[in-house]
Structures are given as C-alpha cells and as structure tokens.
Amino acid sequence: MAEEKNGFVPKVVYALCTWCGSGGSETAAAFHLKYPENVRPFRVMCTGALDPAYTLRAFIEGADGVVVSGCHPGDCHYNTGNYRARRRIAAMKTILDTFGLDGDRVWLRWVAHGEGQKLVDTAKEFSDHMVEKGPNPLKERWDT
Ligand code: FES
C-alpha cells in the first residue's frame, strides 16, 4: 500500500512504453517486486505516441499524478519517440502550471527492459511525491 497522509492515497497513472517500460514491469514481476496498489499502469506503443490529451484527461477524471516511462535516450524502438515524449511532457508541465495544477504532477523517467527495480522505485517515489503534493486541485474545485 502507498504511504498516505491524512488518509489520502493518491491515484497514480503510469504510462509504460511497450518495449522498455512494460519490459521493466515484466522484469519486476519476474523478481516478485511490487509497486503500490494505487499505481495503475497502462501500455502505450511508445512514449512518443502518448497523446497529451490523454494526460489531461487523466487529471480531469481524477488522477492525482501521471508518470511516464519509456526507453532510454537512443534506445527508442521508433528512433525518436522518446525525444518527442520529452518535449511533449515539458510542454505539458507548462500547461499544468498555467492551469494551477502543478507541472510536477507529471514525471518522465527512463526505464529499460531489465530495470525492474528502477520501475518499482520510480512508482514508489512518485506515489510518495503525490502524497506530499496532496489531491489533484481539480477534484477540490469540483467537490465544492
Ligand atoms: S519504444 Fe520505448 S520510448 Fe519509444
């Protein structure tokens, strides 16, 4: 279970590219490494294929944070997809800051197929980070 503060357990969405991020997840599973239950992974073909609209939609639908993991620079199976993802996520952070959502609610971390421990550590670190950040401000606005 995730660390919690005042009963708050963040909803975390974790986008993993098929080749490296998901591979890291499979490696973690092979070694029985566990990430927090509040972290919900989903697969995209490449981090560069992750439409920024889906990231925004995750926040609109109640996610407290979104973390993205894909192949290390130079290792993307689609050559430059991860560079595209890096640019998009930098832009996404600016957009979130502009809307008062805090750009630090989106992280990009490189994870290779064999880096199961790194994937688990990233999930835990990000989840703990979201505990410190608190709930998605959109939820508070809509609940009042
Ligand atoms: S295939 Fe992994 S980031 Fe592009």
Percent of the chain with pLDDT over 90: 89
| 58-78 per-position pLDDT tens digit | 999 999 999 999 999 999 999
Question: Do residues 14 and 119 touch, judged by C-beta distance below 8 A?
Answer: no
> Mean pLDDT throughout 106-120?
98
CA of 46 to the centre of ligand 1 (A): 4
The verdict on the CB of residue 76 being under 6 Å from ligand 1 is yes
User: Measuring CA to CA, which residue among 140, 130, 120 is closest to residue 36?
Assistant: 120
Instruction: Determine, yes or no, domain membership for 5.
Output: no
Please report the pLDDT score of residue 7 as a whole number: 87
Domain limits for position 56: 12-143
Strands (E), 6-48: 12-17, 39-44
26 Cβ contact list (under 8 Å, min separation 6): 113, 116
Which atom from ligand 1 is nearest to the alpha carbon of 20? 2
Which atom from ligand 1 is nearest to the alpha carbon of 70? 3
Instruction: Report the 10 Å Cβ neighbour count for 91.
Output: 12
Q: Give the number of domains in the chain.
A: 1
| 12-42 per-position pLDDT tens digit | 999 999 999 999 999 999 999 999 999 999 9
Instruction: Determine, yes or no, domain membership for 113.
Output: yes
